Amino acid sequence: MIGNILIVDDEPAALKLLKDILTADDHVVRPFNNGELALRSIMVEAPELILLDIRMQGMSGFEVCRRIKQDERLKDIPVIFIRAASDMDEKVRAFLGGGVDYITKPFQKEEVIARVKTHIALSHTIQRMKSIAESLRMSEESLKMAQALAHLGHWEWDIKSGRFICFEEMCRILGVDPHGLMANQAAFLQTVRPDDRERVANHLSSVQAGNSFDIEYRIILKSGKVRVVHGKGEVFSSVDSRLTKIIGTIQDIQERDSAKILVFIQDITERKELQSKLEEQANTDVLTGCDSRRYFLAHAAQEFIRLRHYGGEMSMLMLDLDYFKGVNDTYGHQVGDAVLKKTGTGLPGTHARGRCNGPARRRGVRHHAAGNRGRQGFRNRRALVSGCRCRGNSH
């Protein structure tokens, strides 16, 4: 197994020998004759394995190892110390300082190759395990996120021990401590509303006979709030067909049902708004903005009935545009439309205005005394005459 190896030894002959042995075994080797240069290289590119001489001029091997182990990025790199054969104290200190192994001078080629291969393989295995652990951690985080988004929790019930394990999202749904474990099935059933408790208990009992379950029931939170949930459960057996555990899920469907109600309310609201707009368009003359003929006459009829019942007076004016055909023939239909718009908006007051067939206008005037009706009609006519001009000409 090829490895990226860094060697540190201040003896040129020993450094060359180790380099030749490991290079011949297809390893990538970086040799250094002092600790300072070695540390700089390690900071740039971390090796998979370090062979480190203990006794060196300047910075000792122990000091180099100490600095490596202090760095969070480098502390897991395995270090094999190179030591004199007779020094037991250095051997003990090497292990206490973080070394994983040692080789002695003078070197034995087979020993060097065997120890290096062992620790390179071990380093690769550790890296794979770390990668797998990180993948599992990310998968667990993704699962937690997905369960939270779906309001879906899960639980495990160990048949032999009776232990009932409530996982994080389920604890949130039940409103219990996410760091605690439910002692048994009875503790779980205490969260179920009394009206549903017997039914849920019967389903859990049936699972022990090898049956799955799929039910909806209600739980009661510590706050007293009732929550509707959907529960499922499946049985898992050992190789000899004995029941070992039950795994189940619980989903909060209270929020789902509330969302359905909200969507239904929104749908009704949008439909009513659309209906209101359609009615407004049907009751309004598009060109002038006045009431349509049908709506105006219906409104006038209601006013007649109201005044007949409660008393009072109402006047209705019928206004016609004389020579209107001449306006269209002389100036075109765009100018004619402008005259109609001006007529519809030029009537003073806040009374109802309606457009009948053709250019005629009807106008309802409410609550005028008998002596005021004529004057009101005269003011309306004068306002229209003074306001309607086509390209500088009055009509």
Query: Which residues have CB under 8 Å from 348's CB, separation 6+?
Result: 379, 380, 383
* b/e per residue 290-305 (b: at least 16 CB within 10 A): bbbeebbeeebeebee
**pLDDT at 371 (0 to 100):** 47
CA distances from 82 to 22, 67, 90, 104, 310 (A): 15, 17, 10, 6, 116
Positions of the chain with pLDDT under 50: 359-371, 390-391
Q: Assign domain 4-129 to its CATH architecture.
A: 3-Layer(aba) Sandwich (3.40)
Sign of CA dihedral 158, 162, 168, 172: positive
SS3 152: strand
**pLDDT at 287 (0 to 100):** 66
**pLDDT at 362 (0 to 100):** 46
Structure tokens at 312: 């009072």
What topology is assigned to 283-394 in CATH?
Alpha-Beta Plaits (3.30.70)
**pLDDT at 18 (0 to 100):** 95
**pLDDT at 161 (0 to 100):** 78
**pLDDT at 94 (0 to 100):** 86
| Pair 10, 34: CB distance under 8 Å | yes
Same fold: 4-129 with 151-255: no
**pLDDT tens by residue, 325-360:** 677 777 777 777 777 777 766 665 556 777 666 544
**pLDDT tens by residue, 146-181:** 767 777 888 887 877 777 777 888 888 888 776 555
CA distances from 193 to 173, 219, 222, 268, 333 (A): 14, 5, 12, 33, 75
**pLDDT at 393 (0 to 100):** 52
| Domain boundary assignment for the chain | 4-129, 151-255, 283-394
The predicted model scores a pTM of: 0.47
What is the CATH class of 151-255? alpha beta
